[in-house]
C-alpha cells in the first residue's frame, strides 16, 4: 500500500512501525500517519461520547436571561434561528450548519463507519462515507459558537442577569470529544481495515 504526503504529494511505501510512533514525509517532514494502539476503537468511543454531549447540548439551555422579573432560556439552535428571523439568512444558515448540522453529521458518520468495522462488517458505502466525513470536518466549528456565546455573555451581563446553562458545558465537552476522535483516527488503519473486509 502506498501513501501520498498530504503536503507535497511525494509517494511513500507504507511500512509497519511500532505503536505510539508516527510516520513522516521524507521530503518535507509532514506527518503521514500516526500509529495509535486501537486507533479505531478510541475514535469510535470519542465519537459516541461526542454524540451524547450533542444531545445534552440540545436539551439544556445555553444561556438563561433574567430581566425585569422575566426569565428566558436560549437553546443551541436559537442563535441561528434569530439570524434567520431577522432576515440575515445566509449568516443564519452558516451558523446553523457550522454549530449544529456539521458536528452532528461528522459524529454520525464516524459512528456509521467505525461501528460496523468493530463487528467485522463493511459500512454501507464506505468510500462515500469517509470522503463526506473528511470534507465536512473543517465545517464542524462548534468551538466558534462557544466563543460567540462567551462574547454575548459578557456583553449582556451589563443589563441583564445572565447565567450559563448546562448546554454550554455540553458543547465544550462535545468539541473536546470530537477533537480527540480525530487525534486517534488513523486513516491508514481505517483503509487497511476496509481492505481486509472486502
Give the footprint of Zn ion on this chain (CB under 5 A): 5, 7-8, 10, 25, 27-28, 30
Whichever of 25 and 107 has its CB closer to Zn ion, that residue is 25
Whichever of 32 and 76 has its CB closer to Zn ion, that residue is 32
In angstroms, the CA 91 to CA 127 distance is: 31
Residue 38 cell numbers, joined: 486501537
Residue 165 cell numbers, joined: 446553562
Q: How far is the CB of 17 from Zn ion (least distance, A)?
A: 17
Residue 82 cell numbers, joined: 434569530
Q: How far is the CB of 39 from Zn ion (least distance, A)?
A: 22
Whichever of 30 and 124 has its CB closer to Zn ion, that residue is 30
Whichever of 27 and 131 has its CB closer to Zn ion, that residue is 27
Residue 171 cell numbers, joined: 458543547
Cβ pair 32, 9 in contact under 8 A: no
H/E stretch holding 24 reads strand 22-24
Q: How far is the CB of 31 from Zn ion (least distance, A)?
A: 10
Q: How far is the CB of 180 from Zn ion (least distance, A)?
A: 26
Cβ pair 46, 176 in contact under 8 A: no
Q: How far is the CB of 4 from Zn ion (least distance, A)?
A: 9
For residue 4, list its beta bridge partners.
11
Cβ pair 42, 162 in contact under 8 A: no
Whichever of 28 and 125 has its CB closer to Zn ion, that residue is 28
Amino acid at each position: 500500500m502506498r501513501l501520498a504526503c498530504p503536503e507535497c504529494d511525494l509517494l511513500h511505501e507504507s511500512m509497519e512501525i511500532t505503536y505510539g510512533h508516527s510516520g513522516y514525509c521524507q521530503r518535507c517532514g509532514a506527518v503521514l500517519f500516526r500509529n495509535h494502539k486501537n486507533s479505531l476503537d478510541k475514535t469510535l468511543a470519542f465519537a459516541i461520547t461526542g454524540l451524547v454531549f450533542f444531545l445534552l447540548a440540545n436539551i439544556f439551555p445555553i444561556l438563561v436571561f433574567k430581566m425585569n422579573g422575566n426569565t428566558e432560556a436560549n437553546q443551541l439552535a436559537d442563535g441561528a434561528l434569530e439570524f434567520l428571523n431577522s432576515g440575515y439568512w445566509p449568516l443564519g444558515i452558516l451558523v446553523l450548519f457550522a454549530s449544529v448540522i456539521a458536528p452532528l453529521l461528522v459524529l454520525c458518520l464516524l459512528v456509521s463507519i467505525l461501528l460496523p468495522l468493530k463487528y467485522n462488517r463493511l459500512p454501507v458505502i464506505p468510500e462515500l462515507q469517509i470522503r463526506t466525513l473528511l470534507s465536512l470536518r473543517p465545517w464542524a466549528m462548534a468551538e466558534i459558537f462557544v466563543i460567540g456565546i462567551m462574547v454575548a455573555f459578557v456583553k449582556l451581563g451589563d443589563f441583564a442577569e445572565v447565567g450559563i446553562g448546562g448546554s454550554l458545558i455540553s458543547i465544550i465537552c462535545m468539541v473536546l470529544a470530537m477533537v480527540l476522535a480525530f487525534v486517534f483516527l488513523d486513516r491508514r488503519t481505517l483503509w487497511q481495515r476496509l481492505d481486509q473486509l472486502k
